[in-house]
A and B are shown apart, each in its own frame.
Chain A
Amino acid sequence: MLDYATLKVIWWLLVGVLLVGFAIMDGHDMGVGTLLPFVGRSDVERRVVINTVGPHWDGNQVWFITAGGAIFAAWPVVYATAFSGFYWAMMAVLWALFFRPVGFDYRSKIHNATWRSSWDWGLFVGGAVPPLIFGVAFGNLLQGVPFQFDQYLVSSYTGTFWQLLNPFALLAGVVSSAMITMHGGTYLALRTEGAIQRRAVKGALVAAAVMVPAFLAAGLWLRIGGIQGFVITSAIEPGALADPLAKTVARDALGWWLNYQRQPLLWLLPALGAVAPLLAMGLLAARRTGLAFVASSLAIAGVIGTAGAAMFPFVMPSSSMPNASLTVWDSTSSHLTLGLMFWATVIFMPLIIFYTGWAYRVMRGKVTVARIQADEHGAY
């Protein structure tokens, strides 16, 4: 069995992999949802757009469900504190997501323009709201969240929903939204042709052009804008029992930059986050859509990796009781559970990737107007 400290680090990486997997897989169909009303101008065009993700959105959404379950199993106190603290943000995400399954499945079942356009906007909300809120949530994590624990480890959040919507967090939301929209547009470019493809490329280009400066601005803001990071000031025992109240934590203006100073190789992550979107833009302009999708996926990994590497070992720092901050070392589940979940992931994740790949292979090829019209009753 792997030792406890190693498993803690592995699980930090695995949660990262699940979040990146979620953003790449569920992200592209959320991006498609966001672009749907603008890229599809007629009913049949919108059906083309929807059917690019029709067979896959459900499987992709499981990345979100599984990321939630994995955080529950690996970081139970993070699951508890974050989701109850961000209560209304979570409600907004859940309620926005409700539009997706019904939107996809019910939209084309009735021939009525109002019905269909209502569901189109539902799919827009289901695609646009979650990435925005996840970005805002990350923006708040970077600033610290006002929560504390009592002796029983009961967490209480003392902020409000509106406090989450501060300028830096909103900027992070813009990065996230633009990134997912770019990704969705790139996927659409890969799976469509003609006018729809042209509009999708345009959408992706605009989104990437917003994303890169926003990402750089967020980095600059962190560096010189007065947002302090966090550092653990007591001795760290990586293999110790998970007790979030056993350490001391201080705020430090350079807290989020220390990992980059110690390990310059990490600069590759923000570099990827800034350069990969530009690469995707170039590839899209040249209609190398497959490679553009790869570049767009790398951009996502770069951006999420940048935030993760800055915060390590912090997962959810507390602004009101810094000692109660949740870190990789003291927020995990027990040694046994981490080990068990590690093996479960090692066994099933490759299988998932294999059969998801197979599903995309079976459904490969451009979705066209002709293809929709030939399958009037079966297609979404």
Chain B
Amino acid sequence: MIPEHLVDLSRLQCAATALYHFLFVPLTLGMVWLLLIMESVYVMTGKVVWKDMTRFWGKLFGINFALGVTTGITLEFQFGTNWAYYSHYVGDIFGAPLAIEGLMAFFLESTFIGLFFFGWDRLSRTKHLLVTMLMAVGTNLSALWILIANGWMQNPVGAEFNYQTMRMEMTDFWAIVFNPDAQAKFVHTVSAGYVTGAMFVLSISSWYLLKGRDLEFARRSFRVAAAFGLASVLSVIVLGDESGYTVGEAQQTKLAAIEAMWETQPAPASFTVVAWPNQAESRNDWSVEIPWVMGLIGTRSVTKRIPGIAEIKAKNRERIVDGIAAVTALEALRKHRGEGEADARKAFEAHKADLGFGLLLKKYVVDVRQATPAMIDLAVDDTIPRVMPMFWSFRLMVGLGFTMLALFVLAFWSTLKVACVQKPWLLKWALWMLPVPWISCELGWFVAEYGRQPWTIYGVLPTHLSVSTLSVESLYGSLAGFVGFYTLLLVVEVYLMVKFARQGPGSLGTGRYQGEPALA
């Protein structure tokens, strides 16, 4: 059997590398559009300040992008290095969007980012604008394909298990592309990136305004960021609600854990605002609830029920027991290739919908037929992620989302006034809000992926079977290497970011701004 420790370390490394990567991705996703907006205004009006804005914010964007690329390389290969069985088992489906991402999007983004930085003097204004646009399109298409792959992990549609090849195989590509989970996740995630980009520009512009420097530059930047941020944050919240809705369809378990719904309530369910979940006793020690609201959000109806954790567990228990028959039949099919296949195949076809649930028992016993009731209990408990971290991460994320909404509303409103002078308290608030979108993004991924446990592919492949057969020592070594290396690079990145943000547009060396650097 696979050592538990190896599974935990593999998960930790995957989580660490993915969360590091997502420190850089959302800013890229948002900044490309802000750069496109700024450059479009430059091309339309010919005012050079807009070109300087594009170049200066582009410089900061570049510092961030370098680490996005660095940390992204790992993720393309980590499925193979650390999740070998996963890669074999679902590569037929999961590999396709990753490869298409490379072909359709990442090439586009990476080729044109080079021209974005180096092509200013070699391209006409409109051609450079086209370059910026293709870079933005590439970046966002890239997110689309990655989230299609990720959405399939949450809601594996358009695929079927093949016992002869011992893996999942694609049956319907378009079902995978138009997977409602993937689509909702895409819009929610990229919008969160747009908010991050907007907050970045808003906060740093606020600092210039507070210092009273480069006012023409800072005011315009502030205005663009406020408008773009307001639209984006509204989109995050509305589309986040949409992904809440699809979670309700495909992944009721996640929803029940996020909402700490231990028992099924009569429809429409009430919404638990805050609570102290107690996993051991399957109840909340205390809670504050608003009647009806959860049912309305989760099902868009007043009559549909949302299953609670107890009900989900009862259903999962049946599926695990049925899964034992599926695993047994599969093993017979694998052992006697050809002989007595008809019977085993019939048995397998009858139970294969629950194969994944049967595999959950492999964590406790090699031969699932030997599973004791106690083991089945453990496997049933495993099907529910820990409620406390889910419940609170989600609430913190949503709370921060509404705080950002409030800021962007006020910031946008302040730009509508004729005088357009922002109050210092608003500027200070905007400055201190700088880290908030990053915290929300990371919390969002935590909820989405921790909430998927104990599965890598929901209902299909348990996490503990997905790992590579590596030594625990190797994992300690690589985990330490990644965390050490990334942290070092992050320190360098933040140092450069702060240095150039403080220097401001003067760092372009155009002679039009304060804080021009001395020439070397």
Q: Which residues of A contact B (CB under 8 A)?
A: 54-59, 61-62, 64-66, 68-70, 72-74, 76-77, 79-84, 87-88, 90-91, 94-95, 97-98, 100-102, 104-106, 109-111, 151-157, 241-243, 246, 333-334, 336-337, 340-341, 344-345, 348-349, 352, 355-356, 359, 362-363, 375-379
Q: Which residues of A contact B165 (CB under 8 A)?
A: 241-243, 334
Known: A98-B485, A362-B115, A363-B118. A155 touches B84 (CB 8 A): yes
Closest residue to B80 on the A side, CB-wise? A83
Tell me the residues in window 37-93 of chain B with beta carbons closer than 8 Å to chain A beta carbons.
Answer: 62-63, 65-67, 69-70, 72-74, 76-77, 79-82, 84-88, 90-93
Q: Which of A56, A57, A72, A98 meets B99, CB within 8 Å?
A: A72
Q: Which of B74, B100, B110, B474 meets A87, CB within 8 Å?
A: B474
Known: A68-B76, A80-B84, A334-B170. A98 touches B489 (CB 8 A): yes
CB distance from B131 to the nearest CB of A (A): 9
In the bound assembly, the distance between CA atoms of A223 and B171 in angstroms comes to: 45
Q: Which residues of B contact A336 (CB under 8 A)?
A: 169-171, 173
Q: Which residues of A contact B91 (CB under 8 A)?
A: 72-73, 76-77, 79-80, 333
CB of B113 closer than 8 Å to a CB of A? yes
Interface-central residue, B96, B99, B166, by most chain A CB under 10 Å: B99
CB distance from B134 to the nearest CB of A (A): 8
In the bound assembly, the distance between CA atoms of A94 and B70 in angstroms comes to: 9
Known: A84-B84, A109-B496, A109-B500. A73 touches B110 (CB 8 A): no
Known: A76-B88, A341-B99, A376-B519. A66 touches B107 (CB 8 A): yes
Interface segment, one of B119-127, B289-297, B393-401, B433-441: B119-127
User: Are A154's CB and B496's CB within 8 A?
Assistant: no
Tell me the residues in window 96-138 of chain B with beta carbons closer than 8 Å to chain A beta carbons.
Answer: 96, 98-104, 106-108, 110-115, 117-123, 134
Q: Which residues of B contact A (CB under 8 A)?
A: 62-63, 65-67, 69-70, 72-74, 76-77, 79-82, 84-88, 90-96, 98-104, 106-108, 110-115, 117-123, 134, 162, 164-167, 169-171, 173, 331, 334-335, 337, 468-470, 474, 478, 481, 485, 489, 492-493, 496, 499-500, 507-509, 517, 519-520
In the bound assembly, the distance between CA atoms of A76 and B67 in angstroms comes to: 28
User: Are B114's CB and A98's CB within 8 A?
Assistant: no
Known: A62-B102, A69-B76, A156-B469. A55 touches B115 (CB 8 A): yes
Known: A55-B114, A79-B95, A154-B469. A84 touches B81 (CB 8 A): yes
Q: Which residues of A contact B62 (CB under 8 A)?
A: 105
Q: Is the interface of A mostly helix, strand, loop or mixed?
A: helix
Q: Which residues of A contact B121 (CB under 8 A)?
A: 375
CB distance from B160 to the nearest CB of A (A): 10
Q: Which residues of A contact B117 (CB under 8 A)?
A: 54-55, 378
Query: Which 4 pairs, one residue from A and one from B, show the smallest C-beta to C-beta distance?
Result: A76-B91, A83-B80, A66-B102, A73-B95
In the bound assembly, the distance between CA atoms of A58 and B517 in angstroms comes to: 28
Closest residue to B123 on the A side, CB-wise? A362
CB distance from A353 to the nearest CB of B (A): 10
In the bound assembly, the distance between CA atoms of A355 and B165 in angstroms comes to: 39
Closest residue to A43 on the B side, CB-wise? B520
Interface-central residue, A61, A109, A111, A349, by most chain B CB under 10 Å: A109
CB distance from A242 to the nearest CB of B (A): 5
Known: A76-B88, A80-B84, A80-B91. A337 touches B170 (CB 8 A): yes
Q: Is the interface of B mostly helix, strand, loop or mixed?
A: helix
Q: Which residues of A contact B468 (CB under 8 A)?
A: 80, 84, 87
User: Are B99's CB and A69's CB within 8 A?
Assistant: yes
User: Are B103's CB and A337's CB within 8 A?
Assistant: no
User: Are A104's CB and B120's CB within 8 A?
Assistant: no
Interface-central residue, B102, B112, B123, by most chain A CB under 10 Å: B102
9 A-B residue pairs with Cβ-Cβ distance under 8 Å, sorted by A, are A58-B113, A68-B77, A77-B88, A80-B80, A80-B468, A87-B81, A91-B478, A352-B107, A377-B507
In the bound assembly, the distance between CA atoms of A77 and B496 in angstroms comes to: 42
Known: A91-B478, A241-B164, A363-B119. A65 touches B114 (CB 8 A): no
In the bound assembly, the distance between CA atoms of A102 and B488 in angstroms comes to: 11
User: Are B69's CB and A58's CB within 8 A?
Assistant: yes
Q: Which residues of B contact A362 (CB under 8 A)?
A: 115, 119, 122-123
User: Are A65's CB and B115's CB within 8 A?
Assistant: no
Q: Which residues of B contact A59 (CB under 8 A)?
A: 107, 110-111, 114
User: Are B66's CB and A104's CB within 8 A?
Assistant: yes
Q: Which residues of B contact A111 (CB under 8 A)?
A: 520
Q: Which residues of A contact B99 (CB under 8 A)?
A: 66, 69-70, 72-74, 341, 344
Q: Which residues of A contact B107 (CB under 8 A)?
A: 59, 62, 66, 348, 352, 356
Q: Which residues of B contact A106 (CB under 8 A)?
A: 63, 66, 492, 496
Q: Which residues of B contact A379 (CB under 8 A)?
A: 118
User: Are B63's CB and A105's CB within 8 A?
Assistant: yes
Q: Which residues of A contact B118 (CB under 8 A)?
A: 54-55, 363, 378-379
Q: Which of B77, B95, B519 meets A76, CB within 8 Å?
A: B95
Closest residue to A379 on the B side, CB-wise? B118
Q: Which residues of B contact A344 (CB under 8 A)?
A: 96, 99-100, 103-104
Closest residue to A81 on the B side, CB-wise? B84
In the bound assembly, the distance between CA atoms of A151 and B337 in angstroms comes to: 11
User: Are A334's CB and B92's CB within 8 A?
Assistant: yes
Q: Which residues of B contact A65 (CB under 8 A)?
A: 72-73, 76, 102, 106
User: Are A94's CB and B77's CB within 8 A?
Assistant: yes
Q: Which residues of B contact A76 (CB under 8 A)?
A: 87-88, 90-92, 95, 167
Q: Which of A55, A152, A375 meets B166, CB within 8 Å?
A: A152
Closest residue to B102 on the A side, CB-wise? A66
Q: Which residues of B contact A104 (CB under 8 A)?
A: 66
User: Are B80's CB and A72's CB within 8 A?
Assistant: yes
Q: Which residues of B contact A69 (CB under 8 A)?
A: 76, 95, 98-103
CB distance from A171 to the nearest CB of B (A): 26
CB distance from A93 to the nearest CB of B (A): 8
Q: Which residues of A contact B520 (CB under 8 A)?
A: 111, 376
In the bound assembly, the distance between CA atoms of A278 and B70 in angstroms comes to: 36
In the bound assembly, the distance between CA atoms of A174 and B86 in angstroms comes to: 34
User: Are B85's CB and A80's CB within 8 A?
Assistant: yes
Q: Which residues of B contact A348 (CB under 8 A)?
A: 100, 103-104, 107
Known: A94-B73, A106-B66, A334-B169. A84 touches B102 (CB 8 A): no
Q: Which of B95, B166, B478, B489 meets A72, CB within 8 Å?
A: B95
Q: Which residues of B contact A109 (CB under 8 A)?
A: 63, 496, 500
CB distance from A337 to the nearest CB of B (A): 5
User: Are A98's CB and B104's CB within 8 A?
Assistant: no
Q: Which residues of A contact B90 (CB under 8 A)?
A: 76
Q: Which residues of A contact B84 (CB under 8 A)?
A: 80-81, 83-84, 154-155
Interface-central residue, B81, B110, B481, B485, by most chain A CB under 10 Å: B81
User: Are B81's CB and A151's CB within 8 A?
Assistant: no
CB distance from A87 to the nearest CB of B (A): 6
In the bound assembly, the distance between CA atoms of A90 and B78 in angstroms comes to: 9
User: Are B108's CB and A355's CB within 8 A?
Assistant: yes
Q: Which residues of A contact B474 (CB under 8 A)?
A: 87-88
User: Are B120's CB and A61's CB within 8 A?
Assistant: no
In the bound assembly, the distance between CA atoms of A98 and B488 in angstroms comes to: 11
Q: Which residues of B contact A337 (CB under 8 A)?
A: 92-93, 95-96, 169-170
User: Are B73's CB and A98's CB within 8 A?
Assistant: yes
Known: A91-B81, A341-B96. A102 touches B492 (CB 8 A): yes
Q: Which residues of B contact A102 (CB under 8 A)?
A: 66-67, 70, 489, 492-493
Extra contacts, 6 of them, besides A97-B73, A151-B335 (Cβ < 8 A), are A62-B106, A66-B102, A70-B99, A72-B95, A84-B84, A109-B496
In the bound assembly, the distance between CA atoms of A135 and B72 in angstroms comes to: 24
Q: Which residues of B contact A66 (CB under 8 A)?
A: 99, 102-103, 106-107
Closest residue to B115 on the A side, CB-wise? A359
